[in-house]
Amino acid sequence: MKKVGKSTKKGFTLVELIVVLVILAVLAAMLVPALTGYIQRARQEKDYQMAATVLTAVQSAATYQYSVDFKDATDKKITGTTSSGNGVTVNDLIGDTSKISDISFTVDDKGIVQDGGSVVINGYKYTWNTGTASWTAAKAS
């Protein structure tokens, strides 16, 4: 004889499975924008580090040029990925410049990089401010 009222089948109903899928979809919808923000901030931090590396390379090239003949030069600019004079290139000091599209720094009579020098990395222009020893970033035009 068969028992009435008790089911011997085990498993999940369709409604239970749909509820679980909806919960997973809501969690994924909250997670994706957060991860996108983290990835963007990590890329920007990497670009700031690259800008700092460029500044160090420019200062090294300027110091070298100042020690050789830069103090008497009329053009005290370091532009592009190469610096003018004596074969010292910013490219040699940085290595990979594939993400850098423009470098423009001015050096004083003592071989020190001045305010307003900039580097464009991944479409953003990073401008150096000597007074506060900081970078400002803006979308390059």
Which tops the pLDDT comparison, 109 or 115?
A: 115
Neighbours of 11 (CB within 10 A): 6
pLDDT at 6 over 70: no
pLDDT in tens, 7-45: 667 888 999 999 999 999 999 999 888 888 888 888 888
Residue 139 pLDDT > 80, yes or no? yes
Q: Which residue has the higher pLDDT, 50 or 94?
A: 50
Q: What is the pLDDT of residue 84?
A: 46
Hey, which of 48-57, 65-74, 109-118 has the most confident mean pLDDT?
Answer: 48-57
Do 122 and 46 form a contact (C-beta atoms < 8 A)?
Answer: no
CA separation for the pair 36, 107 (Å, rounded): 39
Per-residue model confidence (pLDDT) at position 104: 81
Percentage, residues of the chain above pLDDT 70: 72
Closest CA to 51 of 131, 112, 133: 133
Sequence ranges of the domains in the chain: 15-139
Task: For residues 140 and 25, give the distance between their C-alpha atoms in angstroms, rounded to a whole number.
Answer: 37
pLDDT digits (tens, 9 = 90+) for 66-96: 665 555 555 567 766 554 444 556 666 676 6
pLDDT value of position 18: 96
Whole-number average pLDDT of the chain: 77
